[in-house]
Amino acid sequence: MKARKATLKDAKRILKIYFELMLRFEKMDSYDKQSRKYWKEGALAELKKIMRSKDSRFYIIEDKKKIAGFVDLRLLKKSKIFVNYEEGHIESLYIKPEYRKKGYSRLLLDEAEKWFKKRKMKWITVGTHAYDDSANMFWKKQGFRIYNHKYVKKF
């Protein structure tokens, strides 16, 4: 099994799996059922726009021609007051539940690291949900360290 760079032809399938990922979000990041129209109309154009950018890249894993997972990579530019004002950011990495425990995440992460290195990035960042223990364990196992915590309070 190999991860491959996604092209615009894959956009529709990536969007579908993105939507599936969104539905799993909880609490603060819960999905709005009223946004169905957006997913039907605006979302594909938005995704394609991101995919066309030089500073983003998607890789997918296919299993018997079906998409099993994807990774969404972005080059982020912060304020120049930081020494390291550029970073490679993993916007999302998702493997469908039925394709887990096969090492697919690692394959996608390998591609991510290769691309970020090629683009001269020194740091990779990723944001996770605090409640998602299995994801947090995965990133730690891959050598990631926590540097920031986000807190929320309801008035």
Which residues lie near another protein (CB under 8 A)? 22, 27-32, 35, 38-39, 42, 80-85, 87-88, 113, 116-117, 121-131, 136, 139-140, 142-155
Distance of alpha carbon 134 from the chain centroid: 16
Secondary structure class of 78 (helix, strand, coil): coil
CA gap 68, 17 in Å, rounded = 9
Q: Which is nearer to another protein, 32 or 98 (by Cβ)?
A: 32
Question: In whole angstroms, how close is the CB of 100 to another protein at the nearest point?
Answer: 20
Question: In whole angstroms, how close is the CB of 103 to another protein at the nearest point?
Answer: 18
Q: Which is nearer to another protein, 51 or 126 (by Cβ)?
A: 126
Question: In whole angstroms, how close is the CB of 139 to another protein at the nearest point?
Answer: 5
Cβ 58 vs Cβ 71: under 8 Å: yes
Region for residue 26 given its phi and psi (left: phi exceeds 0; alpha: psi -120 to 50; beta: otherwise): beta
